[in-house]
């Protein structure tokens, strides 16, 4: 290289500088890349000498007087002439506390720089009296790195001591300046180095995925990145073991620590192939060692945890990956990320979401510095409050032979408890690995015995005493206690408990020899429907609901697979391959007239003798969709149903009683009907039926009869629809309880609900698959009892699913069936009381879904694999994260539709949203605008504006091809999203079959023409993925 360049010249930026410069252009108010050297100074201090020393230091190192501007199409660094460095003085009262020094420095440490206006250097002196000070030197990372601070502090003290007359600085002449290094790098990369690096890293990282860390809070659209810190100490004995393990395995302590970090990240996130960043010195020549500047670069260490490796294997892989990173330090991050199809988030590193730093000592600044006479310096809390990345682990040795692990995390994304848990697991794994390097990734190191016991206790619902009372016996008790009380109400008619009992007895005697079999039911909502269900039970059979809307072929399949003995209908006689018993409509009111030949009803004691009280007997068979397209019938026994009904009707559940009026909203073909019917009829309440089904609920709510309703059990999607209507929904004055379930509740809708109802109406969120008998968790979101506070979400968090019901056991497991700690994302398995018998006549499918429970004491215990991704929150509640199979792959990218939906509903003008893939290649979003009151001036959002908003929030490949505005999202009869009814926006008339969309306006034409010139391509479409075409963030500035 040549001699130093003269002042007032321009240099190109290094690739690392260009990346930071681009991030600064995107968010100029972000101070996340500030670097600081904060030192407490005890002893005499000469302010003039300090200011002069700082000025001489900037004269010696041009990078400290460099600003960054655009020169035509490219950013350059401009070296300013030497000027006196302004030393900002901040006085404190005498005897100030340490916290006062931190508070005085914090505003300067956390203030952003304007890189184009002036060199990013800030010097602050905080003084309390003549002998207590704090010196804060703040720079932007674009002009410095960790190594530079060691040089800066050593040379600053030497110059200060010379200015005070204590001793000559005796600093050697610099052979180079940082600008010379930048020019040499640019020459090397432009000469073929850049393409070589791209080819190498594209191959080296082929197949790597993004690290999907489970966030405690949704990622904000405009992140502030406030930093949190969680520190943990490693004792001298453990550090000695780490050093010994490194020598034994022919690697370094850095590699041992990184291997442990990778293994913990893998178990926490479920990701097995990702990259971790680590800073590399980047000083490839001896002459670089004396310079200040941003030489450091982020090395990319691939974390390959596939194949359940042991610690020794992971360590070897880390060693290989580290050597690769050291020998190939040029990493074209954006080009490689685009090539690999990795998401690029604004302000984030596309390759590395987690970073690891290892320092030889915590306080390198004093390592070689000679302090002025009578002066003591010490490290101090800087007050820095900005996170550079989502998660960073910094480690350094301590004077006692130990080591500190310091986790810096983004407080907008993570709770401190989550990160502290990670820190403890890293330490725990290291303690095991130094004793047994063969410990496997999925070994028992993740949890201590105490943690394992605590997790099992967390997932266990309250204990239950004895078998639950069968539903039929509970109904019989109500018949005996209040025979003339209303049991059912429908279209202005009422059926008492005694009448319902007699009618069901009569019908039971007409069903014939059906005990132990399934009996199909094809009856519209009416008294006759409930009479038939009770009658089937009293005859010793289980009922199989059929939907009148289903085609005959599907109904025939269900009846045949369930081995149904009979089909009971409301009057029709379809030919479905089984005998039919058609019930004629009664002439004096629904369900009032006994059928010819009926036998007189029995009293409660006689009803108890009927077969329907056997806990192992079949209660019902409900068919759900199958992943193969063939429905599967879930067979539920009376004992399982009785367990759920006991809790629902009881004081710890919904607290039902004779004064309650409950709407039977759900279709009989969905298990929610059991939550509406059977707890009410065992508690003496009145069930209000809806002729015509759930679609008639709004009419009922507006009627006089609707005013007396006390309990609503609604699909979450339907409830959100009602809430979005605002004052247009006539909520009953008597309403005391709303039960939700079926899909995830949204925080925004919950806030709307609370705004209108406060805690005046209890709102219970429930969760459960059909295979576990209706529900397995519940939690109050609003209006809970005094002893059960609402489980509503913290700001920006999903409403939780609550806690397990009595007798239920919940496990969050990894892909190998191991228990995961709180905060880790895994799949939910359900054990304990209430599991279904299995799938009707599908033993193979039953065996796949209902597995032996290894955590239970009973050898025959089972657990059901739900396919739902969940985690335990730090407050002990279960949080739903999505389906394990919700991910879709589009244009080579893995996409979670729920993430796009969350981003869309974060827009203040959007109430609800849905996202799906059409034709296997088009990502379509559907949005329902938020109702606007007459006095508000807000306009209905345009689809294009919403898509632009998503483009600001999401990676380009997650932005939908189209956003369709709807008045409402179509729902099925069960209140769930009806994807088949969502309109297909089709292709734009200007779009060709290959997806190319030509410019339609002059503005679009100008933009397309500019991109064609920059990228050197003959054709660029309006909707083309620019990253896929070879664009990077820097090229954006050229356009």
pLDDT tens for each residue of 795-827: 456 788 999 999 999 999 998 899 999 888 899
Asked whether the predicted pLDDT for residue 349 surpasses 70, the reply is no
- Are 28 and 89 contained in the same domain? yes
What pLDDT was estimated at residue 905? 86
Residue 787: pLDDT band with limits 50, 70, 90: very low
Q: Name the residue among 776, 824, 782 with its Cα closest to residue 801.
A: 776
Domains: count for the chain = 4
Lowest mean pLDDT among 222-231, 415-424, 741-750, 947-956: 947-956
Please indicate, yes or no, if residue 244 is contained in any of the structural domains.
Answer: yes
Asked whether the predicted pLDDT for residue 410 surpasses 60, the reply is yes
Check residue 13 and report its DSSP letter.
Answer: P
What's the average model confidence in pLDDT over 398-415? 92
Asked whether the predicted pLDDT for residue 609 surpasses 70, the reply is no
- Are 975 and 1007 contained in the same domain? no
Ramachandran angles phi, psi of 401, nearest 5° = 90, 0
What pLDDT was estimated at residue 607? 40
Tell the residue number behind the tokens 């710890």, with chain if given: 652
If one compares 884 and 646, the residue with the highest pLDDT of the two is 646
Q: Are 292 and 178 in contact (CB under 8 A)?
A: yes
Q: Are 661 and 708 in contact (CB under 8 A)?
A: yes
What pLDDT was estimated at residue 249? 94
If one compares 1007 and 692, the residue with the highest pLDDT of the two is 692
Please indicate, yes or no, if residue 775 is contained in any of the structural domains.
Answer: no
- Are 24 and 134 contained in the same domain? yes
Element (H, E) at 504: helix 497-508
| Degrees, nearest 5: CA angle 874-877-879 | 95
Contacts for 350 with CB less than 8 Å, ≥ 6 apart: 333, 334, 337, 342, 343, 344
If one compares 513 and 1022, the residue with the highest pLDDT of the two is 513
φ/ψ region of 330 (left if φ > 0, alpha if ψ in -120 to 50, else beta) reads beta
What's the average model confidence in pLDDT over 57-86? 94
3-state secondary structure 543-592: EEECCCCCCHHHHHHHHHHCCEEEEEECCCCCCCCCCEEECCCCCCCCCC
Asked whether the predicted pLDDT for residue 586 surpasses 50, the reply is no
What's the average model confidence in pLDDT over 755-783? 92
Asked whether the predicted pLDDT for residue 990 surpasses 50, the reply is no
**90 vs 52, 112, 123, 872, 992, CA distance in Å?**
18, 19, 11, 47, 66
Asked whether the predicted pLDDT for residue 306 surpasses 80, the reply is yes
Please indicate, yes or no, if residue 717 is contained in any of the structural domains.
Answer: no
Ramachandran angles phi, psi of 190, nearest 5° = -70, -20
What's the average model confidence in pLDDT over 933-937? 53
Q: Are 64 and 123 in contact (CB under 8 A)?
A: no
Residue 534: pLDDT band with limits 50, 70, 90: very high
Asked whether the predicted pLDDT for residue 8 surpasses 80, the reply is no
What pLDDT was estimated at residue 225? 85
Please indicate, yes or no, if residue 709 is contained in any of the structural domains.
Answer: no
DSSP, residue by residue, 919-985 = TTTEEEEEEEEPP--TT--PPPPPHHHHHHHHHHHS-GGGS-SEEEE-SS--B-TTSSB-GGGSPP-
What pLDDT was estimated at residue 908? 86
Please indicate, yes or no, if residue 268 is contained in any of the structural domains.
Answer: yes
Q: Are 925 and 903 in contact (CB under 8 A)?
A: no
What's the CATH code of the domain at 157? 3.30.559.10
- CA 16, 22, 27, 29 torsion: positive or negative? positive
What's the average model confidence in pLDDT over 832-844? 94
What's the average model confidence in pLDDT over 605-625? 73
Check residue 300 and report its DSSP letter.
Answer: E
- Are 162 and 232 contained in the same domain? no
**156 vs 290, 366, 378, 381, CA distance in Å?**
13, 12, 16, 21
Asked whether the predicted pLDDT for residue 872 surpasses 50, the reply is yes
- Are 14 and 59 contained in the same domain? yes
What's the CATH code of the domain at 948? 3.30.300.30
Instruction: Tell me the two tokens of residue 514.
Output: 């059906």
Please indicate, yes or no, if residue 670 is contained in any of the structural domains.
Answer: no
Range of the domain at 392: 207-366+383-458
Cβ atoms within 10 Å, residue 852 = 12
pLDDT tens for each residue of 447-503: 988 999 999 999 999 999 888 999 999 999 999 999 999 999 998 999 999 999 999
What share of the chain in percent tops pLDDT 70? 85
Residue 981: pLDDT band with limits 50, 70, 90: confident
pTM score: 0.75
What's the average model confidence in pLDDT over 221-227? 83
Among 442, 458, 474, identify where a domain stops.
458
What's the CATH code of the domain at 303? 3.30.559.30
What pLDDT was estimated at residue 975? 67
- Are 279 and 390 contained in the same domain? yes
What pLDDT was estimated at residue 989? 30
What's the average model confidence in pLDDT over 960-978? 81
What pLDDT was estimated at residue 1006? 60
How buried is residue 1016: exposed, middle or buried, by Cβ count under 10 Å (0-12/13-18/19+)? Answer: exposed
The CA distance from 142 to 110, in Å, is 16
Residue 599: pLDDT band with limits 50, 70, 90: very low
Q: Highest mean pLDDT: which of 126-130, 585-589, 1017-1021?
A: 126-130
Instruction: Tell me the two tokens of residue 29.
Output: 């108010």
Among 458, 483, 510, identify where a domain stops.
458
If one compares 794 and 316, the residue with the highest pLDDT of the two is 316
- Are 1008 and 972 contained in the same domain? no
If one compares 386 and 913, the residue with the highest pLDDT of the two is 913
What pLDDT was estimated at residue 1005? 63
The CA distance from 663 to 756, in Å, is 22
Element (H, E) at 697: helix 697-702
Instruction: Tell me the two tokens of residue 657.
Output: 């009683």
What pLDDT was estimated at residue 902? 80
What's the average model confidence in pLDDT over 264-278? 92
Residue 557: pLDDT band with limits 50, 70, 90: confident
The CA distance from 79 to 66, in Å, is 4
The CA distance from 596 to 986, in Å, is 58
Q: Name the residue among 663, 528, 521, 674 with its Cα closest to residue 590.
A: 528
Instruction: Tell me the two tokens of residue 286.
Output: 């001896």
If one compares 344 and 866, the residue with the highest pLDDT of the two is 866
Instruction: Please list the residues that pair with 636 across neighbouring strands.
Output: 620
Residue 421: pLDDT band with limits 50, 70, 90: very high
Q: Are 309 and 441 in contact (CB under 8 A)?
A: yes
- Are 244 and 165 contained in the same domain? no
Q: Are 824 and 214 in contact (CB under 8 A)?
A: yes
Q: Are 14 and 79 in contact (CB under 8 A)?
A: no
The CA distance from 893 to 231, in Å, is 36
Element (H, E) at 314: helix 311-327
What pLDDT was estimated at residue 1038? 38
The CA distance from 776 to 462, in Å, is 12
What's the average model confidence in pLDDT over 17-31? 88
The CA distance from 338 to 344, in Å, is 8
- Specify the pairing of strand 777-782 against strand 762-767: antiparallel
What pLDDT was estimated at residue 978? 82
- Are 907 and 1018 contained in the same domain? no
If one compares 151 and 987, the residue with the highest pLDDT of the two is 151
Please indicate, yes or no, if residue 377 is contained in any of the structural domains.
Answer: no
pLDDT tens for each residue of 518-532: 999 999 999 999 999
Among 458, 484, 500, identify where a domain stops.
458
CA of residue 294 relative to chain centroid, distance:
35
User: What strands, in cross-sheet order, belong to the sheet with 354-359?
Assistant: 227-234, 403-410, 391-397, 354-359, 273-280, 297-304
Instruction: Please list the residues that pair with 377 across neighbouring strands.
Output: 41
Mean pLDDT score across all residues of the chain: 85
What pLDDT was estimated at residue 602? 37
Instruction: Tell me the two tokens of residue 990.
Output: 């200007």
Residue 652: pLDDT band with limits 50, 70, 90: very high
Expressed in percent and rounded to 5, the helix, strand and coil fractions of the chain are 35, 25, 45
- Are 127 and 272 contained in the same domain? no
If one compares 882 and 123, the residue with the highest pLDDT of the two is 123
Please indicate, yes or no, if residue 838 is contained in any of the structural domains.
Answer: no
- Are 966 and 1008 contained in the same domain? no
Element (H, E) at 509: none
Residue 76: pLDDT band with limits 50, 70, 90: very high
What pLDDT was estimated at residue 629? 42
Asked whether the predicted pLDDT for residue 9 surpasses 90, the reply is no
Asked whether the predicted pLDDT for residue 1030 surpasses 90, the reply is no
Q: Name the residue among 578, 519, 584, 581 with its Cα closest to residue 552.
A: 578
- Are 1007 and 969 contained in the same domain? no
Asked whether the predicted pLDDT for residue 889 surpasses 80, the reply is no
φ/ψ region of 224 (left if φ > 0, alpha if ψ in -120 to 50, else beta) reads alpha
Lowest mean pLDDT among 3-12, 208-217, 545-554, 785-794: 785-794
Residue 1039: pLDDT band with limits 50, 70, 90: very low
Ramachandran angles phi, psi of 684, nearest 5° = 80, 10
Q: Are 490 and 525 in contact (CB under 8 A)?
A: yes
What pLDDT was estimated at residue 562? 93
Cβ atoms within 10 Å, residue 704 = 6
pLDDT tens for each residue of 232-261: 999 999 999 999 999 999 999 999 999 999
């Amino acid at each position: 290289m040549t001699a130093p360049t003269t002042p007032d010249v321009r240099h190109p930026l290094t690739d690392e500088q260009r990346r930071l410069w681009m991030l600064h252009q995107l968010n100029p108010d972000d101070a996340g890349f500030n670097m600081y050297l904060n030192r407490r100074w005890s002893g005499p201090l000469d302010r003039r000498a300090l200011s002069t020393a700082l000025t001489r230091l900037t004269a010696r190192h041009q990078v400290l007087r460099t600003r960054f501007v655009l020169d035509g199409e490219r950013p350059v660094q401009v070296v300013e002439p030497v000027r006196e460095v302004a030393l900002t003085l901040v006085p404190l009262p005498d005897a100030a506390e340490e916290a006062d020094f931190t508070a005085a420095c914090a505003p300067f440490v956390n203030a952003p720089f304007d890189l184009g206006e002036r060199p990013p250097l800030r010097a602050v002196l905080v003084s309390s009296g003549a002998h207590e000070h704090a010196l804060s030197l703040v720079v932007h990372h674009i002009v410095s790195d960790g190594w530079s601070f060691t040089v800066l502090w050593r040379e600053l003290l030497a110059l200060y001591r010379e200015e005070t007359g204590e001793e000559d600085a005796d600093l050697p002449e610099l052979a180079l300046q940082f600008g010379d290094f930048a020019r040499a790098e640019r020459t090397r990369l432009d000469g073929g180095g850049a393409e070589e690096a791209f080819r190498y890293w594209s191959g080296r990282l082929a197949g790597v995925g993004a690290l999907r860390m489970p966030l405690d809070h949704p990622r904000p659209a405009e992140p502030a990145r406030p930093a949190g810190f969680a520190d943990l100490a490693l004792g001298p004995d453990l550090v000695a073991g780490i050093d010994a393990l490194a020598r034994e395995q022919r690697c370094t302590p850095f590699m041992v620590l990184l291997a442990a970090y990778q293994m913990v990240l893998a178990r926490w996130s479920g990701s097995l192939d990702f990259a971790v960043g680590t800073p590399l010195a980047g000083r490839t020549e001896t002459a670089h060692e004396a310079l200040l500047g941003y030489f450091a670069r982020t090395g990319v260490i691939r974390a390959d945890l596939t194949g359940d490796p042991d610690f020794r294997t992971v360590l070897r892989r880390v060693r290989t990956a580290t050597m690769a990173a050291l020998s190939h330090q040029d990493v074209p991050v954006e080009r490689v990320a685009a090539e690999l199809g990795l998401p690029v988030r604004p302000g984030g590193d596309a390759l590395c979401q987690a970073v690891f730093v290892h320092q030889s000592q915590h306080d390198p600044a004093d390592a070689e510095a000679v302090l002025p006479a009578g002066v003591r310096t010490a490290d101090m809390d800087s007050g820095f409050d900005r996170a550079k990345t989502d998660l960073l682990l910094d480690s350094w040795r301590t004077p006692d032979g130990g080591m500190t692990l310091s986790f810096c995390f983004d407080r907008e994304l993570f709770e401190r408890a989550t990160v502290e848990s990670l820190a403890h697991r890293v330490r725990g794994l290291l303690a095991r690995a130094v004793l047994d390097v063969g410990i496997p990734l999925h070994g028992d190191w993740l949890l201590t015995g105490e943690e394992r016991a605590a997790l099992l206790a967390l997932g266990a619902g309250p204990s239950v005493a004895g078998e639950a009372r069968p539903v039929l016996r509970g109904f019989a008790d109500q018949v005996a206690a209040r025979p003339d009380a209303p049991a059912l109400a429908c279209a202005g008619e009422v059926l008492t408990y005694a009448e319902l009992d007699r009618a069901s007895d009569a019908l039971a005697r007409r069903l014939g020899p059906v005990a132990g079999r399934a009996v199909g039911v094809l009856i519209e909502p009416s008294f006759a429907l409930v009479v038939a269900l009770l009658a089937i039970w009293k005859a010793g059979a289980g009922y199989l609901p059929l939907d009148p809307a289903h085609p005959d072929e599907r109904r025939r399949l269900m009846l045949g697979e369930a081995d149904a003995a009979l089909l009971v209908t409301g009057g029709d006689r379809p030919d479905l391959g089984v005998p039919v018993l058609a019930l004629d409509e009664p002439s004096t009111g629904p369900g009032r007239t006994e059928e010819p030949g009926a036998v007189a009803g029995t009293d409660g004691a006689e009803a108890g003798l009927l077969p329907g009280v056997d806990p192992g007997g079949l209660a019902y068979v409900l068919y759900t969709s199958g992943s193969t397209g063939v429905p599967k019938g879930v067979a539920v026994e009376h004992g399982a149903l009785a367990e759920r009904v006991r809790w629902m009707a009881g004081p710890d559940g919904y607290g039902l009683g004779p004064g309650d009026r409950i709407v039977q909203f759900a279709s009989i073909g969905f298990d929610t009907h059991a939550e509406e019917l059977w707890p009410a009829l065992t508690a003496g309440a009145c069930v209000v039926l809806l002729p015509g089904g759930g679609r008639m609920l709004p009419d009922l709510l507006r009627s006089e009869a609707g005013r007396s309703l006390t309990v609503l059990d609604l699909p979450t999607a339907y409830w959100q629809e009602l809430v979005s209507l605002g004052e247009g929904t006539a909520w009953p004055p008597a309403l005391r309880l709303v039960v939700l379930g079926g899909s995830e509740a949204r925080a925004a809708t919950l806030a709307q609900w609370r705004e209108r109802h406060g805690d005046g109406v209890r709102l219970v969120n429930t969760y459960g698959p059909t295979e576990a008998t209706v529900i397995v968790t519940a939690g109050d979101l609003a209006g809970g009892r005094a002893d059960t506070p609402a489980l509503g979400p913290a700001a920006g968090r999903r409403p939780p699913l609550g806690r397990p019901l009595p007798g239920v056991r919940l496990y969050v497991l990894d892909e190998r069936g191991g228990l995961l700690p709180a905060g880790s994302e895994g799949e939910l398995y359900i054990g304990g009381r209430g599991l279904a018998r299995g799938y009707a006549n599908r033993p193979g499918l039953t065996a796949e879904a209902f597995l032996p429970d290894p955590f239970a004491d009973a050898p025959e215990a089972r657990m059901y694999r739900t396919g739902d991704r969940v985690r335990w929150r730090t407050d002990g509640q279960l949080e739903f994260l999505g389906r394990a199979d919700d991910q879709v792959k589009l244009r080579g990218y893995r996409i979670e539709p729920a993430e796009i939906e969350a981003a869309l509903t974060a827009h203040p003008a959007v109430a609800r949203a849905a996202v799906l893939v059409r034709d296997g290649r088009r990502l379509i979003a559907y949005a329902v605008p938020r109702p606007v009151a007459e006095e508000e001036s807000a306009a209905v959002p345009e689809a294009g504006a919403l898509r632009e908003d998503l483009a600001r929030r999401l990676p380009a490949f997650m932005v939908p091809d189209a956003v369709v505005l709807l008045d409402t999202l179509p729902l099925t009869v069960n209140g769930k999203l009806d994807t088949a009814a969502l309109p297909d926006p089709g292709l734009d008339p200007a779009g060709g079959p290959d997806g190319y969309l030509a410019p339609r306006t002059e503005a679009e034409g100008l933009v397309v023409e500019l991109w064609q010139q920059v990228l050197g391509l003959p054709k660029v479409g309006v909707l083309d993925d620019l990253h896929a075409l070879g664009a990077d963030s820097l090229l954006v500035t050229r356009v």
